[in-house]
Amino acid sequence: MTARPTKADVARHAGVSTATVSYVLNNVPGRSISAQTRAAVRRAADELGYRPNLAARNLARRRSGVVLFVLPQVALNPLAIEVSTRMTTELARRGVMQVILFDTGDEAAIVNAITDLDPVAVTGVYPLRGAALAAVEAARIPNFHLGSSLLADLGDLHLTAGELRIAHLVARGHRRLAYAFSPEATLRPIGEYWLAGLRAAIDARGLPEPELVELRPADAAEVVTGWHERGITAVCAQNDDTAFVVQHGMRAAGLACPRDLAVIGVDAIPLGEVAAPPLTSVAFEAGAIVEVATASFMSALGYPTETTATGADLAVLVVREST
C-alpha cells in the first residue's frame, strides 16, 4: 500500500474490481451492485482510511468541492461551534471542503464568497435573506439551514424539543405558560421554529395558547410580574440566554424560581449550571446532529451516504432546579 490508500488498494481489500469501488464510492446510478458488495467496499475504505482525492475529483466535475457555512456571530454558542467544527472534519473525510464564513451583517461578503469560491452548497444556522439569498438562487446551488426541507433527515427537531419541554412542565402541574423571544432580530426565525414545536405539544394536551413576549433586560421585571399576576406559572425561553433574562427579571421583581415561576431554556449551555437557580434546558447531541446532517448534505449533493442516527437521538432534557 502507498502512504495514501488508493481505489486499487480498496478493491484488493474488498475483493472486487477498481471499477466497482469507483461505482460504489461515487454512488453511480444504474449499476447492479448488491448491498453486500456495497457494504464490503465501504467497509474496506473505512478500514484502510481511504479518502477521495478532492482536487482530482473536483477537477473532473469542474466544481470547487466547497461547502460554504455561514455562521452569524449571534450563533457562536458551544453547540454551533462544535457542530460546525465537526462538520468541517466529517465533510473533509468525504472529500468535501467546508469553509466557515462569519456573517457580520455584510451581505456583500456572502455574495462575494459565493461568487469567488463557487461552492457546491451553502449552509448555515439560519436562512439566508436579501442579496445573499438571491446570489444562492442565481447560482442554482442547494441552500441548507436548520429546519430546511433539505435537512429533513434531522427529523422534526422542534417537535422533539417542544414535547420534552411541555411534557416536563405538565408533569409538574403547569398549564398556563408563556414564551420569551430573544430581542435579537437575527434569532427570530429560530425562535419561531422552537415555538412551533411547543405549540404542537401544547395543542395535543388542550392547553391554553402561551403568552408571547420579546424580552429585554430593561423590562424583564415588569413582564414577569405581569405573568405572575395573571396566573402564568412557567416560561419556555427561546434559548438559555433569554431564560437568564427571565431569571434576572424575577430577582428584580422579588419573585422566586421555580416557586413563583418555572423557567426552561434550549441549548443547555455550560453557564446554565451556575444560573440562579441552575437552569433546566434541552441539550442537543452534537455528534448525532453531525452524523445525520453530513449524510443529508452528501445525499443532496449526489454522494453515497450512510447513517445510524435518527431524530430521536438528537435532543435530551437536562433537568436542573429552575423547574
Residue 29, domain member (yes or no): yes
| Residues 162 and 268 both lie in one domain | yes
168, 281: one domain: yes
- Of 241, 235, 315, 237, nearest to 271 (Cα)? 241
- Name residues whose C-beta falls within 8 Å of residue 286's C-beta, 6 or more positions apart in sequence: 79, 82, 83, 86
What residues make up the domain containing 44?
Answer: 7-50
**pLDDT of res. 305:** 60
Q: Report whether 162 contacts 201 (CB < 8 A).
A: yes
Residues 204 and 87 in one domain: no
Look at residue 11 and tell me if it is in a domain: yes
Residue 187 shares a structural domain with residue 121 = no
Cα–Cα dist 130/78, whole Å: 28
Whether residue 19 is found in the same domain as residue 74: no
* In-domain check, residue 322: no
Same domain as 226, residue 170: yes
Q: Are residues 141 and 162 in the same domain?
A: no
pLDDT under 70: residue ranges of the chain: 1-4, 26-30, 51-64, 73-77, 94, 125-126, 145-155, 297-313
Count of domains observed in the chain: 3
pLDDT (0 to 100) of residue 152: 54
Q: Indicate the pTM of the whole model.
A: 0.67
Q: Are residues 162 and 16 in the same domain?
A: no
Q: d(Cα 196, Cα 235) in Å, to the nearest integer?
A: 15
Q: What is the CATH number of the domain that holds 295?
A: 3.40.50.2300
Same domain, 186 and 272: yes
Q: Is residue 317 part of a domain?
A: no
Asked if residue 323 belongs to a domain, the reply is no
* Averaged pLDDT score across all residues of the chain: 82
Looking at the domain assignment, is residue 161 inside a domain?
A: yes
Instruction: Say whether both 140 and 163 belong to one domain.
Output: no
Q: Is 179 contained in some domain?
A: yes
Helix (H) or strand (E) run with residue 88 in it: helix 78-93
Helix, strand, coil percent content, the chain, rounded in steps of 5: 50, 15, 35
Q: Is there a domain that residue 57 lies in?
A: no
Is residue 131 located within the same domain as residue 242?
no
135 & 233 share domain: no
Burial zone of 277 (CB within 10 Å; 0-12 exposed, 13-18 middle, 19+ buried): middle
What pLDDT was estimated at residue 301?
A: 65
